[in-house]
Amino acid sequence: MGDQHCFAKRRDHFLGQLEGMAAIIPAAPLVTHHADCEYPFRQNSDFWYLTGFDEPDAVALFMPYRPLEERFVLFVLPKDSVTEAWNGFRYGTEGAVIHFGADIAHPLEELPKRLGDYLKGAQGIAFRIGKHPTIEPIVLKALATQLDNVQRNGSSAFSLVAPCPILHQLRLYKESWELERMREASRISAKAHELARNVVRPGMNERYLQGLIEQYFLEQGARGPAYGSIVAGGDNACILHYTANNALLNDGELLLIDAGCCLSDYYNGDITRTFPINGRFTGEQKALYEIVLEAQQAAVESVVPGNNAEEVHKIAVRIIVEGLLELGLLEGSIDCLIEHGLYRHIYMHRTGHWLGLDVHDVGAYRLGDYPVNLQEGMVLTVEPGIYISDRFPVPEGQPSIDDRWKGIGIRIEDDVLVGEKYPEVLSCDAEKSVDAMQFRNT
Ligand SMILES: [Mn+2]
């Protein structure tokens, strides 16, 4: 886990790029689940990235124009023994300074009163509009007051900009200690997939396997699942974000599991595997599985410096379209099918996304007209799939699909680090060969 030194280094990088602007980065609030119960707390990843502070309702100020010992200020919930007895420990203002390296810390309730003073001398304000409904009015009021007084004071922050281009560019490149954490998240997630495949039997409920996987995450010290685990038998696998997970698993069908853990410091795994519930592929299942596997392996191999995520996607699409053509599920010339997207009733999503503190991590995929080049230290998922159901209409001119193919949903997803020369598959502990998918340990 990164220590305070790691977070301090990040703050230095961030402060160095603010060019005289103040940055205001709020923590996440608690979110009501129902009545007076809240969802488990999940810190805002930008706030976490810069502070490592895991409490709700805090605000971090970054002020490169202030003296060296006043550049990182935290507003936090104050210590309060009664509230802490109900809801748990708080570090308070002193703890924020001692344990989290804040130069100065104040109770959050003082933010409206103090923000104006802190912003004096800032050339602009970096704050993300539209995401922090309780903090936003405080920021706008402080900025408005500065603008009202600029005539007499002679200076004000004039611009209000989003901090994302700076912060998310930093987050896109993973440091070596972060990569260790991501390997750990992938390792635990991969092991959970192996466990599920080894116990699955016809007649089990999807929920049983969800429980098994998430129990393993918790046993390994993770916070739990990084996102709603998808445990989808048969046709449920064709629902891309299926999370009901409450159907019986049928003999002769496939099971698709898309699940990954979230570690204590918010690094995530995101892995998908698909295998036969009874341990034997049917001919149709095997034919489609082999296409997805070939597409996935070729796409993984293309995750190298200088390539880009759009090319990775194109490689997967071409192999899938080629395979579907051979099976008669598509008709026409491969280039025409790809150009007009005539395969999208069968493969309707992109081949991957950045992975980091957020499962769908931040960072641009395009800058202006150009796709972002892959570089060492970036991590992305590679997850092509084939989904055959009646949900998407068959495009005009394409063959209608025979019933024997229907209800087959297959996705294979790995977490891949762009290495110096070669891709490193962080989730390689989860098997994916045809043989392994048909093998049971128990
Ligand atoms: Mn994914």
Tell whether the model's pLDDT for residue 87 goes beyond 80: yes
Query: What percent of the chain has pLDDT above 70?
Result: 99
Q: pLDDT digits over 374-420, tens only?
A: 999 999 999 999 999 999 999 999 999 999 999 999 999 999 999 99
- Look at residue 62 in the predicted model and tell me its pLDDT: 98
The rounded Å distance from CA 350 to ligand 1 centre is: 10
- Binned at pLDDT 50, 70 and 90, residue 442 comes out as low
Picking from 160, 166, 123, 163, the residue whose alpha carbon sits closest to that of residue 141 is 160
Which positions are catalytic?
Answer: 36, 241, 258, 270, 349, 353, 360, 383, 387, 411, 413
**SS3 string of the chain?**
CCCHHHHHHHHHHHHHHCCCCEEEEECCCCCEEECCEECCCCCCHHHHHHHCCCCCCCEEEECCCCCHHHCEEEEECCCCHHHHHHHCCCCHHHHHHHHHCCCEEEEHHHHHHHHHHHHCCCCEEECCCCCCCCCHHHHHHHHHHHHHCHHHHCCCCCEEECCHHHHHHHHHCCCHHHHHHHHHHHHHHHHHHHHHHHHCCCCCEHHHHHHHHHHHHHHCCCCEECCCCEEEEHHHHHCCCCCCCCCECCCCCEEEEEECEECCCCCECCEEEEEECCCCCCHHHHHHHHHHHHHHHHHHHCCCCCCEHHHHHHHHHHHHHHHHHHCCCCCCCHHHHHHCCCCCCCCCCCCCCECCCCCCCCCCCEECCEECECCCCCEEEECCEEEECCCCCCCCCCCCCCHHHCCEEEECEEEEEECCCCEEECCCCCCCCHHHHCCCCC
Closest alpha carbon to 193 in 171, 174, 217: 217
Q: What is the pLDDT of residue 152?
A: 86
Classify domain 4-170 at the CATH superfamily level.
Answer: Creatinase/prolidase N-terminal domain (3.40.350.10)
CA of 297 to the centre of ligand 1 (A): 16
Mean per-residue pLDDT, 13-18: 97
**Cα-to-centroid distance, 209 and ligand 1 (Å):** 19
- Where in the chain is CATH 3.90.230.10? 173-437
The CATH number of 173-437 is 3.90.230.10
Ligand 1 centroid distance, CA of 282 (Å): 26
Q: Given this model, what pLDDT does residue 230 score?
A: 98
Give ranges for CATH 3.40.350.10 in the chain: 4-170
Model confidence band, residue 439 (pLDDT cutoffs 50, 70, 90): confident
pLDDT of residue 154: 84
CA gap 22, 170 in Å, rounded: 17
Strands of the sheet containing 271-276, edge to edge, are 230-233, 254-259, 271-276
Position 115 pLDDT exceeds 70: yes
User: What per-residue confidence (pLDDT) applies to 55?
Assistant: 98
Structure tokens at 36: 């007076």
What is the per-residue pLDDT for 3?
84
State the average pLDDT over residues 273-295: 98
The pLDDT score that the predictor gives to residue 155 is 85
- Give the model's pLDDT for residue 13: 97
How close is the Cα of 416 to the center of ligand 1, in Å?
Answer: 11
What average pLDDT score do residues 22-33 get? Answer: 97
Check pLDDT > 70 for residue 1. no
Average pLDDT of the residues of the chain: 96
Q: What is the pLDDT of residue 2?
A: 67
For residue 106, pLDDT beyond 60: yes
Over residues 32-65, the pLDDT tens digits come to 999 999 999 999 999 999 999 999 999 999 999 9
pLDDT in tens, 339-367: 999 999 999 999 999 999 999 999 999 99
pLDDT the model gives residue 424:
98
